[in-house]
Amino acid sequence: MNADLPPEPVHDVVAEMAGECVMMRSRLISRVVTGIYDQELRPFGINSPQFALLVVMVKMGPSSRAEIGRYHHQDRSTLTRNLKIMLSEGWIEEVPGAAGGRARPMAVTRAGRDLLAVLAPSWREAQKKARVLLCEEGVQAITKLANGILKPAPAV
Amino acid sequence: MNADLPPEPVHDVVAEMAGECVMMRSRLISRVVTGIYDQELRPFGINSPQFALLVVMVKMGPSSRAEIGRYHHQDRSTLTRNLKIMLSEGWIEEVPGAAGGRARPMAVTRAGRDLLAVLAPSWREAQKKARVLLCEEGVQAITKLANGILKPAPAV
DNA sequence: GCGATAATGTTGTATATGCACCATAGATTC
DNA sequence: GAATCTATGGTGCATATACAACATTATCGC
């Protein structure tokens, strides 16, 4: 309001940050929740980020790194590296003669789909634990939020 | 229910995962929100995770890596490395003759507190953008969730 | 067709994050 | 007091993540 007032005490500023920062809370939740799923998925040799990417790719169908990045809000370079690991695991593959020519769409393999089917019970176990931690209310809020990010208002 | 039934179609399983996974959504939100704050904080030479740690450390007062890790849900080794960078920036320091002897508490320096005061307006700008993205409802849900994780039911 | 522009994928660099494992230093137990 | 247990901090390793810069490849405008 008034730029000439003395700066507010650092203590107050930090109290405001500690009490309200959305980023701190988002990252905290992400860390804790990721840990829950990593624990359940570990026996299958796949981790949380890889599982997420695999599911997104099944959902999207054959897609280029750039397309996946736009939908999943990840940098192209991140996908170049993460997909390389998933390729070597045989969960995904490059679709041969697809797309115009510059892009090289990737798709989930049969092995990738089978893996998802096999680990489904463990994933549900993790879901259950997450629900306990976040309560049904929290789960719904997060679901709604994320869906809003994934499906931005279509250009009319 | 019945282990002898044929496995449900992979398609259905993936649809369930894509539509309900809490981890995928938590990480997505975290990525997007972190990006918002990183953009605002960049001019100050500090990134989102470092900012979060700095705020937590002011809040906690002099604390060992182990204590910070328990409160902030981070591995001790993660803190060893992250704090090293913050030490070299002069935002935190080792408290000399504190604690019993085995632990070596770390505390935020004057420079660290000043940095928080200086970047406060940019942080509020990021808060504003986050509020637009998540809506007031989402912000409150995340805040409530995270507070629940930070303040677990005290052992009675 | 040609030059300008835009999109794609890659690599270098820096940081975040957790697990497994280790050495050390307090704390416990007898 | 010595053996054992436990907590702390550090290292090696693997992965996630983004930004900057680059070469390549379309695409557009003319």
* Complete DSSP assignment for A17-69: HHHH-HHHHHHHHHHHHHHHHHHHHGGGT--HHHHHHHHHHHHH-SB-HHHHH
Amino acid at B84: K
Q: Any idea what DSSP says for residue B63?
A: B
Nearest partner of A142 among A125, A120, A127, judged by Cα: A127
Provide the residue range defining the domain that includes A71: 10-140
pLDDT mean across residues, chain A: 90
Classify residue B155: in a domain, yes or no: no
Burial A10-26 (b: 16+ CB within 10 A, else e): beebbebbbeebbbbbb
Residues 18-37 of B with CB under 7 A from strand C: none
Output the pLDDT for position B137: 86
Classify residue A75: in a domain, yes or no: yes
Which residues does residue A94 pair with via DSSP β-bridges, in sequence order?
A106
pLDDT mean across residues, chain B: 90
Number of domains in chain A: 1
Q: At what angle do helices A76-89 and A65-72 cross, to 10 degrees?
A: 110
Here the CATH number for the domain that contains residue B62 is: 1.10.10.10
Output the pLDDT for position B156: 39
Q: How many Å apart are CA A92 and CA B114, to the nearest integer?
A: 49
Q: Which nucleotides of D are covered by protein (CB under 7 A)?
A: 7-13, 15-21, 24-27
Classify residue A4: in a domain, yes or no: no
B88 nearest nt, CA–C1': C15
Token pair 């990183």 is at which residue? Answer: B38
Q: Is the pLDDT of residue B155 over 50?
A: no
Q: What is the pTM of this model?
A: 0.90
Tens-digit pLDDT profile for residues A7-19: 567 788 999 999 9
Classify residue A80: in a domain, yes or no: yes
3-state DSSP assignment of residue A125:
helix
Tens-digit pLDDT profile for residues A73-108: 999 999 999 999 999 999 999 997 655 556 679 999
Q: Phi, psi (5° rounding) for residue B56?
A: -60, -40
Q: Is the pLDDT of residue B154 over 80?
A: no
Classify residue B15: in a domain, yes or no: yes
Q: Is the pLDDT of residue A3 over 70?
A: no
Chain B residues with CB under 8 Å of A46 CB are none
